[in-house]
Chains A and B, each alone.
Chain A
Amino acid sequence: MSNRDIIFGKIATGLKALRDDKTRQATVDSRIAAKFRHPTPARVAGRSHDEHVALFKSHMTGQSATILDAATAADVPALIAGYLRQNNLPARLTVGEDAYLANLPWATEPTLERRQGRAQPTDEVSVSHASAAVAETGTLVMASGPDNPVTLNFLPETHIVVLEVKDVVGPYEDAWMKIRARFGDRTMPRTINMISGPSRTGDIGGKLVMGAHGPRRMCVVVVKG
């Protein structure tokens, strides 16, 4: 008997489950197919998109991230350059192959150097493009791939995320609808990172310290147009 058979046999015995119980299987299949939504918090349910955006921003700020507002996509490079200057950070970015980011008018900021690819341990600043953002807790949803490699989210000390306002949703469940629409039903990219601010720890004497292993700083550029 394989290890798998041993475990499944014990579970079936424990549940007194019959081998060919079609009803149980049907229950499981329909539960997964239905994607039943449990009640979502009133802080987002039935609220307007503007309210979601405002709530997202206030949560993110409360979680020690910086929010920058861009009226149009064209403003993003200048905002990023300004943020780096203000924080005395190098004007060198690592970016994935994301088409939206590639099409930003980077030429307006000639001092900004850009390298395309995954993050290397020596990289100090990365820029990625969020797949969605959840208002209820101020949480970015990042999907991995060549467009936005997962290492960009964790290796550099400063992580800049560009978020289009249209991608802000109320509850987590709406973010999953976006992911399903993009990758297909029951299909996920290698990694989905839900990120709610810069890295932190409370492991030394119970005191909160930012920048435990991941980014010390997070900046979210929210693009309206």
Chain B
Amino acid sequence: MVEIKTREFKANARVALDDPQLQRALAGLPGGLVAQRTAARDKLPEFEDLRDVGRDIRDHTLAHLDLYLAEWERKAVAAGAHVHWAPTAADARDIIEKICREANAKIVTKGKSMISEEIALNGYLEARGFEVVETDLGEYLVQIRKETPSHIIAPAIHLTQEQVEADFRRLHTHLPQDRVLVEPAQLVDEARKILRQKFVAADVGITGANFLIAETGSSIIVTNEGNGDLTQSLAKTHVVVASIDKVVPTLEDVSSILRLLARSATGQEFSTYTTFSTGPRRKADPDGPEAYHVVILDNGRSELLATEMREILRCIRCGACMNHCPVYNAIGGHAYGWVYPGPIGAVLTPSLIGVKAASNLPNASTFCGKCEAVCPMKIPLPKLMRLHRETEFDLGNLPRGYAFGLKTWAWFAKRPRLYHLGARFAIAALGALGGARGAFRALPFAGGWTKHRDLPAPQGRTFQQLWAEQQAGLNRPSQTRARS
């Protein structure tokens, strides 16, 4: 089963805050993606309108999910695809293992796939004797360190260049010890050469799917490196792992959503490679895979359809919500303890593995609302987190998590001031945190906060003004509720 460490969120977060390497890696990186997204949005005046279009396409598709999936399957099979249905992660692992066995596979290459992380595929296949090689550079770095991705589009965002150099020297021992690895380009080049051999030798190539298209029976991957394309074009067998929510009706629909994806994710106008795969290679084709399998995973998603959590199934995994999240920016992705970090994780993880198992995650928020404001699919992430909190409350799970949520928020509430002072999140600030924590515990102002957040808009008052008022104790009368 997938290792779930979500219950340790609180402890994880503390460790992350005290990790100078991590803090150095995080400094500026998600922030850079934020600036790039803003620039890309500003270059496309239709961007905000497109978010409505995207939301509506996804809502329409989800409302007819059974029919679009059936239509996609019909077209995929007609093009020669083998379609497999996996109600659970275990089913998906079994199916993929069987495909690998039937292909007599030794080496399995992989393009980046969050679903494969969700079903913990690598460890499972490795334990059964397959050599599994991640080929997305970030995923490769994470794999050779025996870690997990800390970001859904930039898996190694928690690593510094120096760490990568050290890992390459430690692992690529067949190369000259005195080789120069100063520039990122030199590191990329070394990985390129090593992974090239794997692409060529691979028997099975596994990729994810950003979308499935009902009109044509196609699956789509979006990358910048081209690793997914080498993975799926050179191996004899191409396996796609996708979840039930990936389907969209037509090429027109996916085009509109693609206008949002790269801009929201990396701030590019369009990713370098967007690849549509339909069936295996055709009779006359000199290349491409001989067999094409698509494994469709449910893993709890269908159960969200009847609930208010249905909206999370609109997610296109762009990562914008985490890039813009003050909590994610401070602690990175690993502290979230499971596959999906940031606001999307705080909503999706409890939805898929249960609120009880993921007890602290819905509290990993300052409820600043940034995530919802940037989400290309207009998912009301703060509202959904609040719904999880209510469930948590009903489960009697609250005091510990809530108290921590309070403390987390209190801690972050201090950050705007730090920003104003021009102090980047640094070791010095971390030192101050210890003291601040105690002080805030005595000031239970979350009641006041929640009260304000429940209003349609915090009319005319900025976060800083609120903060000043809180400091002055203006809201104290309304705060007693917080601890009850």
> Which residues does A use to contact B, with CB under 8 Å?
2-4, 6-8, 10-17, 24-25, 27-28, 31-32, 35-39, 41-43, 59, 63, 96, 117-119, 121, 136-139, 144-146, 149-151, 153-155, 171-173, 176, 186-207, 209, 211-215
> Which residues does B use to contact A, with CB under 8 Å?
28-29, 32, 44-46, 49-50, 53, 57, 60, 63-71, 75, 79, 84-87, 91, 135-138, 141, 154-157, 159-161, 164, 184-185, 187-189, 192, 195-196, 199-200, 214-218, 224-227, 229-230, 233-234, 244, 249-253, 255-256, 258-259, 266, 268-282, 284-288, 296, 298, 302-306
Q: Which residue of B lies closest to A121 (CB)?
A: B200
Bound state CA distance, A188 and B78, in angstroms? 11
Pick from A7, A145, A149, A171: contact of B296, CB under 8 Å: A7
Of the candidates A10, A117, A194, A204, the one having the most CB atoms from chain B within 10 angstroms of its own CB is: A204
Sorted nearest first, the 5 A-B pairs with minimum C-beta distance are: A214-B226, A14-B305, A212-B225, A205-B161, A10-B302
Looking at the assembled complex, report how far the CB atom of A65 sits from the nearest CB atom of chain B, in whole angstroms. 10
- Do A186 and B75 form a contact, CB below 8 Å, given A41-B259, A149-B287, A214-B225? yes
Bound state CA distance, A187 and B154, in angstroms? 33
Looking at the assembled complex, report how far the CB atom of B55 sits from the nearest CB atom of chain A, in whole angstroms. 12
Pick from A187, A191, A203: contact of B277, CB under 8 Å: A191
Bound state CA distance, A190 and B84, in angstroms? 19
* Contact of B161 with A199 in the complex, beta carbons under 8 Å: no
Q: Could you say which residues of chain A place their CB within 8 Å of the CB of B192?
A: 211-213
Q: Could you say which residues of chain B place their CB within 8 Å of the CB of A15?
A: 63, 65-66, 305-306
Q: Which residue of A lies closest to B64 (CB)?
A: A28
Bound state CA distance, A154 and B135, in angstroms? 14
Q: Could you say which residues of chain B place their CB within 8 Å of the CB of A28?
A: 64, 67-68, 71, 214, 249
- Do A206 and B137 form a contact, CB below 8 Å, given A11-B66, A14-B306, A193-B273? no
Bound state CA distance, A16 and B307, in angstroms? 11
Q: Which residue of B lies closest to A120 (CB)?
A: B200
* Contact of B67 with A213 in the complex, beta carbons under 8 Å: no
Bound state CA distance, A7 and B247, in angstroms? 15
Bound state CA distance, A80 and B94, in angstroms? 50
Bound state CA distance, A149 and B271, in angstroms? 21
* Contact of A39 with B258 in the complex, beta carbons under 8 Å: no
* Contact of B229 with A153 in the complex, beta carbons under 8 Å: yes
Bound state CA distance, A2 and B157, in angstroms? 41
Of the candidates B32, B244, B272, B274, the one having the most CB atoms from chain A within 10 angstroms of its own CB is: B272
* Contact of B273 with A194 in the complex, beta carbons under 8 Å: yes
Q: Which residue of B lies closest to A142 (CB)?
A: B275
Looking at the assembled complex, report how far the CB atom of A126 sits from the nearest CB atom of chain B, in whole angstroms. 12
* Contact of B258 with A172 in the complex, beta carbons under 8 Å: yes
Q: Could you say which residues of chain B place their CB within 8 Å of the CB of A211?
A: 188-189, 192
Bound state CA distance, A188 and B189, in angstroms? 34
Bound state CA distance, A118 and B224, in angstroms? 22
- Do A199 and B226 form a contact, CB below 8 Å, given A10-B298, A14-B303, A150-B233? yes
Looking at the assembled complex, report how far the CB atom of B329 sits from the nearest CB atom of chain A, in whole angstroms. 14
* Contact of B216 with A188 in the complex, beta carbons under 8 Å: yes
* Contact of A203 with B136 in the complex, beta carbons under 8 Å: yes
* Contact of B252 with A11 in the complex, beta carbons under 8 Å: no
A-B contact pairs, 7 of them (CB 8 A): A28-B249, A38-B50, A41-B46, A190-B281, A192-B218, A199-B225, A213-B199
- Do A138 and B269 form a contact, CB below 8 Å, given A8-B66, A144-B285, A151-B234? yes
Q: Which residue of A lies closest to B196 (CB)?
A: A121
Q: Which residue of B lies closest to A177 (CB)?
A: B251
- Do A37 and B252 form a contact, CB below 8 Å, given A194-B273, A211-B188? yes
